[in-house]
């Protein structure tokens, strides 16, 4: 029997389903692209006796620091567009076992052959980094925003400094909403340990949005809506940049002085 979900967990699942629809409608979630995790440890309470009713499913790549923590994660091969309607088939809640040699499947995963996202070890590394730093962000969201990915293919906007200047120069909100800019991870093989480790380094530099070159974007937020909003704001700036380029001209953009003024005026308090 699955655990009984609290109202707060139901709200998390609702938000994840809502964001799944946004990602699909924007064309950022082709087929089963993308994945998501939410640290819901503070919302899950289960006694050791009841936990034993959920057999341990073996998993590799788990660290001792993960033990006892609970996460809502998307499943391998599931589609963002299906989450809202089929949440218990597309998502699962798992708790890492006491010995970190696997996990207890507490809820969801009803689809035949269900497995958590293949990038679960990567998500757990990122979630652990956020937890250890005391960050308020609980959601790790990965998706494929078209225009941001396109900019990583252009020499003039490829690289952390060039990308952020191009985006910040397009619209003041880009600097306001993502004041520390997008972290940059050079191309690494999908689902690789190297990709995860490079992303963790970007999160440790306090980036809330991380660009995976020629692949996609990862964002963290206090909830799924916030993580989506950060990507949406930066992709809007990417759209404006590419619209200007379509005229055959290089965008004039905001000056570095204007961007600095915005940064000082709206400097983050954290």
- Residue pLDDT, tens place only, 6-27: 999 999 999 999 999 999 999 9
Residue 1 lies in a domain: no
pLDDT at 1 over 80: no
Model confidence at 268, pLDDT cuts 50, 70, 90, reads: confident
Q: What tokens does 228 get?
A: 């989506």
Classify burial at 42, counting beta carbons within 10 Å of its beta carbon; exposed 0-12, middle 13-18, buried 19 or more: exposed
Task: Tell me the pLDDT tens digit for each residue of 166-199.
Answer: 999 999 999 999 999 999 999 999 999 999 999 9
Strand partners, 92: 73, 108
Domain boundary among 139, 169, 185: 139
State residue 270's pLDDT score: 64
Q: What is the average per-residue pLDDT within 147-155?
A: 98
Where do the DSSP E strands lie in the chain? 35-39, 56-58, 70-74, 91-96, 102-108, 139-143, 182-185, 209-212, 216-221
Q: What is the average per-residue pLDDT within 94-109?
A: 96
Residue 62 lies in a domain: yes
Residue 257 annotated to the active site: no
Contact 167, 174 (CB under 8 A): yes
Number of independent structural domains in the chain: 2
Residue in 18, 30, 112, 119 annotated catalytic: 119
Residue 270 lies in a domain: no
**Same domain, yes or no: 118 and 230:** no
**Same domain, yes or no: 71 and 193:** no
State residue 2's pLDDT score: 81
Domain range for residue 247?
145-265
Number of CB atoms found within 10 A of residue 215's CB: 17
Residue 2 lies in a domain: no
């Amino acid at each position: 029997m699955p655990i009984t979900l609290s109202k707060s967990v139901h709200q998390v699942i609702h938000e994840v389903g809502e964001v799944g629809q946004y990602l699909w409608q924007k064309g950022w979630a082709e087929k089963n692209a993308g994945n998501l995790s939410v640290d819901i440890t503070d919302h899950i309470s289960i006694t050791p006796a009841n936990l034993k009713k959920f057999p341990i499913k073996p998993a590799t790549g788990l660290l001792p620091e993960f033990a006892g923590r609970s996460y809502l994660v998307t499943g391998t091969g599931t589609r963002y567009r299906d989450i809202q309607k089929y949440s218990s088939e597309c998502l699962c809640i798992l708790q890492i076992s006491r010995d970190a040699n696997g996990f207890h499947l507490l809820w969801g995963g009803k689809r035949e052959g269900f497995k958590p996202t293949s990038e679960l070890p990567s998500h757990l590394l990122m979630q652990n980094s956020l937890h250890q730093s005391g960050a308020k962000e609980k959601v790790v969201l990965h998706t494929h925003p078209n225009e941001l990915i396109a900019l990583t293919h252009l020499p003039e906007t490829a690289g952390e400094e060039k990308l952020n200047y191009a985006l910040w120069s397009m619209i003041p909100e880009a600097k306001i909403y993502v004041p520390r800019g997008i972290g940059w991870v050079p191309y690494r093989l999908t689902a690789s340990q190297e990709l995860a480790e490079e992303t963790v380094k970007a999160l440790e530099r306090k980036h809330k949005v991380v660009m995976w070159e020629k692949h996609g974007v990862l964002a963290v937020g206090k909830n799924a809506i916030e993580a989506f909003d950060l990507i949406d704001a930066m992709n809007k700036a990417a759209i404006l940049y590419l619209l200007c380029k379509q005229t055959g001209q290089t965008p004039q953009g905001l000056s570095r002085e204007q961007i600095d003024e915005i940064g000082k005026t709206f400097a983050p308090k954290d």
